[in-house]
Amino acid sequence: MSGGAAETASREALAMVGGSALPGGVMMRTSTRVGVAVRQDATGEVVTEGFDIHPPRGRWARWPLMRGVVAMRTALKTGAEAFNVSERLRWDDPEIEDEEEEKLGTLATILIGAAGLLGAGVQILAFRVGPVVLAKEAGLEGAAFIVADAMIRLVLLLCTLLVVSLLPPFRRILAYHGAEHQAITARESGAPLTAAAAATFTRFHPRCGTSFLVVSALVSIAIYGAVLAITGVFTYPALIATRLIGGPIVTAVAFELQRQAARLSHGRWRFLSWPGMAAQVLTTRKPGPEELEVAVAALKEALAPSTATEPESDEQVDDAAAIIDPPGLLGPG
């Protein structure tokens, strides 16, 4: 094996960690374990907790296109569990989950579910239906309509990210996001797992979920354009149905492209990750030593020995963390 090939193989072997920023800390994930670290508001102390995960292991879960949907849904479920752990650790209250369940009751649970559905509805209207209406009402057709539809969705996404990045409550989360990236890059580069070492790396990473959203918008141009060219149907019901039904397909294809772009991010194909890397200017902030300390602690917890069954192949390991910060499946695709 040549020196360049060996370096690439070594880097891929280490590229097994994904994660996400949390309101008070960071979550890191390997193929079998999740590590959560937060800085407690009351004491300022960094506390950690880990738990094993058991994603689907069947052969079907490794099929191209299918593995993207499986990995995304598994990551979202894991992220929700990590959030609950982080809030319990953050407020240093081991009974917080039981107390909240007692207070909520059936009615409150229904209201929370309704709020979730409302949020999903808003995302569908904003990123699926809205751009279709705007592009069609502008009198665009054919290729011009498809490109305009995708660009409107992408602009809406970037504007949303810009507004969020300017809100004070989210600035700490964005710093944790940057710290998460730097800690992962430090490990992939073989550097010591310390805050000082992580501080020397960039806060931008090719596997970030922000990059995935940009890739999804670009993939949608090809997929929705092909559907329109084949069917020739240009009515509102057909266009909106295509976006709703085709969303998972766009997600799956974008996942495969993101997966390959991440593997080739240090070679001649690294330009594939540039658009998403540029968008991370809006979704990350330069972290300080405190955020980096939390990110490194979460990474060490995730790398601790796990009792979960190891994946059957290296591909499953890669799929588990092909996207560092998984976005919602109702994103701009």
Block residue for tokens 């689907």 = 56
Q: How high is the pLDDT of residue 191? A: 93
Q: What's the average model confidence in pLDDT over 222-226?
A: 89
Contact (CB, 8 A) for 276 and 170:
no
% of the chain exceeding 70 in pLDDT: 73
- 327: pLDDT strictly greater than 60: no
Cα-Cα-Cα-Cα dihedral sign, residues 196, 212, 285, 25: negative
Block residue for tokens 């498809």 = 146
Q: How high is the pLDDT of residue 329? A: 38
- 104: pLDDT strictly greater than 60: no
Q: What's the average model confidence in pLDDT over 220-249?
A: 88
Shortest CA distance to 316 belongs to which of 9, 104, 122, 68? 68
- Burial label for 123, CB within 10 Å (0-12, 13-18, 19+), is middle
- 282: pLDDT strictly greater than 50: yes
Mean pLDDT, the chain, rounded, equals 78
- 332: pLDDT strictly greater than 50: no
Q: How high is the pLDDT of residue 13? A: 46
Q: What's the average model confidence in pLDDT over 171-186?
A: 93
Q: What's the average model confidence in pLDDT over 253-265?
A: 74
Distance between CA atoms of residues 188 and 265, nearest Å:
12
Distance between CA atoms of residues 68 and 255, nearest Å:
5
Q: What's the average model confidence in pLDDT over 70-75?
A: 73
Q: What's the average model confidence in pLDDT over 278-304?
A: 93
28 — pLDDT class (breaks 50, 70, 90): very high
Q: How high is the pLDDT of residue 168? A: 85
% of the chain exceeding 90 in pLDDT: 23
Contact (CB, 8 A) for 287 and 176:
yes
Residue, of 68 and 309, whose pLDDT is higher: 68
Residue, of 73 and 222, whose pLDDT is higher: 222
325 — pLDDT class (breaks 50, 70, 90): low
Q: How high is the pLDDT of residue 220? A: 87
pTM: 0.77
Residue, of 96 and 316, whose pLDDT is higher: 96
pLDDT digits (tens, 9 = 90+) for 112-153: 567 667 777 777 788 888 899 999 999 998 889 999 998 998
Contact (CB, 8 A) for 20 and 81:
no
35 — pLDDT class (breaks 50, 70, 90): very high
pLDDT digits (tens, 9 = 90+) for 48-64: 999 988 766 667 666 66
| Whole-Å CA distances, 223 to 207, 245, 246, 331 | 22, 12, 8, 16
Distance between CA atoms of residues 91 and 252, nearest Å:
37
331 — pLDDT class (breaks 50, 70, 90): very low
Other Cβ atoms less than 10 A from the Cβ of 89: the count is: 23
Q: How high is the pLDDT of residue 4? A: 45
Shortest CA distance to 176 belongs to which of 67, 293, 81, 328? 293
Q: Where are the domains of the chain?
A: 10-320
Identity of the highest mean pLDDT range in 84-98, 261-275, 311-325: 84-98
Residue, of 314 and 25, whose pLDDT is higher: 25
- 41: pLDDT strictly greater than 70: yes
